[in-house]
Amino acid sequence: MSNKIQTLSGYIHEYQKSVQDPDNFWGRIADSFYWHKKWDRVVDWDFEKPDVKWFVNGKLNITENLLEKHLFLLGDKPAIIWEPNDPKEAVRTITYRELYEMVCQFANAMKAQGVEKGDRVIIYMPMVPEAAVAMLACARIGAVHSVVFAGFSAKSLADRIEDCQAKMVLTSDGNFRGDKKIAVKKVVDEALENTSSVERVIVLKRTGHEVIMKDGRDIWWSDAIEGVSKENKAEVMDAEDMLFILYTSGSTGKPKGVVHTCGGYMVYTTYSFQNVFQYNSGDVYWCTADIGWITGHSYIVYGPLLAGATTLMFEGVPTYPNPGRFWAICDKHQVNQFYTAPTAIRALQVFGAEPLKPYALDSLKVIGSVGEPINEEAWHWYHDHVGKGKCPIVDTWWQTETGGVMVSPIAGVTPTKPSYATLPLPGVQLAILDNDGNELKGNSVEGNLCIKFPWPSILRTTYGDHERCRQTYFSSFKGYYFTGDGVKRDEDGYYRILGRVDDVINVSGHRMGTAEVENAINEHPKVVESAVVGYPHDIKGQGIYAYVICDMEGRSEENLKNEIRETVNKIIGPIAKPDRIQIVSGLPKTRSGKIMRRILRKIATGETSNMGDTSTLLNPDVVEEIIEGAANVS
């Protein structure tokens, strides 16, 4: 495709064009899509309100660009290859024509069940092709999907249903994950006890779990599509109509619904996919993420399918039935581009090179990383053992809010450097600001990572609360989008992401607000107060360290800790369970009552030799006590 960069000088040239004349640059790229009506203006924006619009008044349906557009040339080519959790179960291969029919049919079925343009639909499903079909069927009829990771608790699911007032939930009876069988529909039932907006639940049969189908509300997927037409006329959408909401954690309050819209998201995910991974026709591309996260949205479903690629979808986990599973799948399907997270790399690294031995891995051309900083050791292991020293690593930095990859090597084009996301993609204008808001120009600088010009897939708002969007992203540094990450630009102008500078932690690539975990811990009746910080963890990147003040009466410390973990499990889900809990008698606070997290972070990290200035603390004695107690924490 003509939008593909192939040389370093080509990258520099494209980058310059994208900055000098963004309208022309993005207008030209958007021209290669099918629009019912072209846009009047390429971009309108104001970061102070914030108000960003791309392809103003353009009309389209994203699924026509993903289905109809490919039918003629790629109709019989695989769109999705599905690898089940159990390697003995049959692989499913879905061609573009079959995908078209499945999406149209399910779109008609959803309509028949009362879903209309603009309605919100929650998808709480395992990694099966029907989950992608569900997303696309929503997009087809103009319903707004909100995928919720199927590992979240009933409470988390209910909060999201409530926040977006979803009309429908799409789910399954159960979910296979490694040697576990999870009763998914049960979680939905529990969530729906405390919400009132959902009128219909469509249930896909997957595991054969026994489920209770509520009369008048629940319907089996197979019954919903029975006899339904496989033709559907796509709803014509405005470029700025909502495509989906995806909930993500921030440093305060409840998770917020990041909103992405149709036109810009389509253009940017396609462009970034084609360039970062250098996908060529006939290649098999595999991203190991879950569709419950933005990576799954943009780089399992939308980006690859818009680009006419074959995207592999894996239902299971990296270590089932053994730690060679990823590599077995790469060989079995002759995967050419492989995209995973540092936490998975580190978890597999623990098993050494042995599990890789039976596999040639010679189809691989590009290997990618996403979700958290990749440490040098993991980078080299990935490079040497998986990429066999010949595959470029694309370390892609981006966020739920950015919709697509922002900083990354272009495979085979940008020279890589271990642990560096390297350079911004065309259209991405980065700025490093110090804490006073001054832009740090030149190389060898470190500070807050901001972006000073919109790109097509920037979030438009946080659902139902635009002020929260303004405050979170556009108020720290006037006129800039603030990412929440710290960054270094080295002497070569290369970017290295240093991690979050706010109260967000990244555990195994899952983003979590410390306040969110604290709120969950505080739900335990014996807990008086808590403070949560991240600490370096060999496999997870960051672990969760909780300092808890509680009433111990009648309980052993161990029982109480287990109960606290179970409370968090119930309120958020297993991914948020604290790794370490320390029972304390007080928390270090300033005279104004603010917890000094800086101190708690240092203790959790074991850096207690220099605690900095503690003179402003209301209770300096507690610091010594916490340091002593930390030695015995598990």
Give the footprint of ligand PRX on this chain (CB under 6 A). Answer: 248, 294-295, 369-373, 395-400, 421, 483-485, 497, 499-500, 506, 511
* Tokens, residue 292: 């419950």
Closer Cβ to ligand PRX, 174 or 484, answer by number: 484
Q: How far apart are CA 259 and CA 400, in angstroms?
A: 9
Question: What is the residue whose two structure tokens read 């799948």?
Answer: 329
Q: How far apart are CA 42 and CA 437, in angstroms?
A: 29
* Tokens, residue 315: 């239902």
Distances (CA, A) of 91 to 143, 206, 429, 487: 30, 14, 42, 42
Closer Cβ to ligand PRX, 416 or 506, answer by number: 506
Residue closest to ligand PRX when measured from CB atoms: 400
Shortest separation between residue 400's beta carbon and ligand PRX, angstroms = 3
Count of all residues that appear for the chain in the document: 634
Shortest separation between residue 263's beta carbon and ligand PRX, angstroms = 21
Shortest separation between residue 415's beta carbon and ligand PRX, angstroms = 17
Shortest separation between residue 448's beta carbon and ligand PRX, angstroms = 12
DSSP helix/strand/coil, 535: strand
Question: What is the residue whose two structure tokens read 């419950």?
Answer: 292
Closer Cβ to ligand PRX, 395 or 579, answer by number: 395
DSSP helix/strand/coil, 619: coil
- The letter for the amino acid at 85 is N
Q: Give how far the C-alpha of residue 338 lies from the chain's centroid of Cα atoms, to the nearest Å.
A: 17
Closer Cβ to ligand PRX, 164 or 168, answer by number: 164
Closer Cβ to ligand PRX, 58 or 292, answer by number: 292
Closer Cβ to ligand PRX, 308 or 484, answer by number: 484
Identify the CA nearest to 565 among candidates 581, 550, 586, 584.
581
Shortest separation between residue 254's beta carbon and ligand PRX, angstroms = 16
Closer Cβ to ligand PRX, 78 or 509, answer by number: 509
Closer Cβ to ligand PRX, 232 or 448, answer by number: 448
Shortest separation between residue 497's beta carbon and ligand PRX, angstroms = 4
Closer Cβ to ligand PRX, 108 or 408, answer by number: 408
Q: Is 201 exposed, middle or buried (0-12, 13-18, 19+ CB in 10 A)?
A: buried
Closer Cβ to ligand PRX, 255 or 578, answer by number: 255
Q: How far apart are CA 445 and CA 296, in angstroms?
A: 33
Question: What is the residue whose two structure tokens read 């496999």?
Answer: 539
E strand spans, 390-526: 393-396, 430-433, 445-451, 461-462, 481-489, 495-500, 504-507, 510-513
Shortest separation between residue 175's beta carbon and ligand PRX, angstroms = 21
Shortest separation between residue 171's beta carbon and ligand PRX, angstroms = 22
Q: How far apart are CA 307 and CA 103, in angstroms?
A: 17
* Tokens, residue 453: 């010009």
- The letter for the amino acid at 82 is W
Helix (H) or strand (E) run with residue 393 in it:
strand 393-396
What would you measure as the largest C-alpha separation in the chain, in angstroms?
74
Shortest separation between residue 571's beta carbon and ligand PRX, angstroms = 19
Identify the CA nearest to 267 among candidates 138, 80, 403.
403
Shortest separation between residue 511's beta carbon and ligand PRX, angstroms = 4
∠ CA 340-341-342, rounded to 5°:
130
Q: How far apart are CA 299 and CA 606, in angstroms?
A: 38
Sign of CA dihedral 320, 326, 332, 333: positive
Closer Cβ to ligand PRX, 201 or 294, answer by number: 294
Per DSSP, helices labelled H in 165-228 are 184-193, 221-225
Shortest separation between residue 526's beta carbon and ligand PRX, angstroms = 32
